[in-house]
């Protein structure tokens, strides 16, 4: 469009310029009143140039906005796990962490057996179901601030709570919902999926220390029989939270 306007700039001024050159050579093709056409042509040129510049600036802004949107999209894509839709380990490493929140490491129990018995497609569906429930928890639960896929069958959950006990209750509820979501979306599993979790507060040592502490707690939960949560308590060691037993009818 701007190119067409630029083409439209030249005919009128060019015609006036030719006329004035010929007049200088005492060749009068047009009436004397056309002397005023010079000023009209300049005004015409100014208007068309202003329109063209405005359109060109608008086009450059549009190209800039599209480039920024593409850059943001690529950045989000680079920090998103394609299978689960959760932020990935890169997003985890680049996040600004707030002291006082809690980090939970959530891990699917005996996941290798699922791949061995049902195939990797079933395993992928299990991971996608876990991701779906974690995304849902972040969306609806005020205590769940963010969730990440760390790699393989390991996930991370950021929790806001007033105490270790409250954080453990929040994560344990999420853990149980994850198991229910997998049972609903992947019913062909030979045995119900269970998940274990470890929870620790983000303290003075930052996210690295919290991750190590949560990982230790997860290890204890695994060694205690899996399908449970272990959390660190300040100056009180660790505590295990077992799944609720079903009462006999």
Could you list the active site residues? Answer: 153
Reading the block at residue 24, the tokens are 């200088």
Phi/psi for 25 (5° steps) reads: -95, 15
Q: Is 63 left (phi over 0), alpha (psi -120 to 50) or beta?
A: alpha
H helix count then E strand count, the chain: 8, 6
Give the sheet arrangement for strand 102-108, strand by strand.
144-151, 154-159, 102-108, 195-201, 229-233, 237-241
Residue 107 CB contacts under 8 Å (≥ 6 apart), including other chains: 153, 154, 155, 195, 196, 197, 218, 222
Cα–Cα distance, 228 to 205 (Å, whole number): 26
């Amino acid at each position: 469009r701007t190119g067409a306007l630029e083409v439209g700039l030249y005919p009128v001024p060019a015609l006036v310029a030719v006329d004035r050159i010929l007049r200088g050579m005492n060749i009068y093709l047009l009436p004397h009143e056309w002397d005023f056409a010079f000023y009209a042509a300049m005004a015409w040129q100014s208007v068309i140039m202003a329109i063209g510049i405005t359109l060109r600036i608008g086009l450059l802004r549009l190209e800039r906005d599209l480039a920024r949107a593409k850059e943001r999209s690529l950045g989000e894509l680079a920090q998103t796990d394609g299978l689960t839709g959760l932020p990935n380990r890169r997003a985890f490493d680049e996040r600004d962490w707030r002291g006082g929140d809690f980090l939970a490491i959530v891990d699917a129990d005996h996941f290798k057996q699922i791949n061995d018995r049902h195939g990797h497609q079933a395993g992928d569906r299990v991971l996608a179901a876990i991701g779906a429930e974690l995304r849902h928890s972040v969306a609806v639960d005020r205590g769940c601030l963010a969730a990440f896929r760390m790699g393989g069958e390991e996930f991370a959950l950021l929790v806001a709570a007033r105490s270790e006990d409250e954080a453990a209750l929040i994560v344990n509820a999420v853990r149980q919902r994850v198991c229910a979501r997998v049972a609903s979306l992947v019913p062909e599993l030979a045995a119900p999926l269970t998940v274990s979790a470890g929870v620790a507060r983000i303290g003075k040592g930052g996210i690295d220390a919290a991750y190590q502490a949560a990982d230790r707690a997860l290890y204890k939960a695994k060694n205690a029989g899996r399908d449970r949560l272990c959390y660190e308590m300040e100056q009180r060691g660790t505590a295990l939270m077992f799944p609720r037993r079903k009462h006999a009818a």
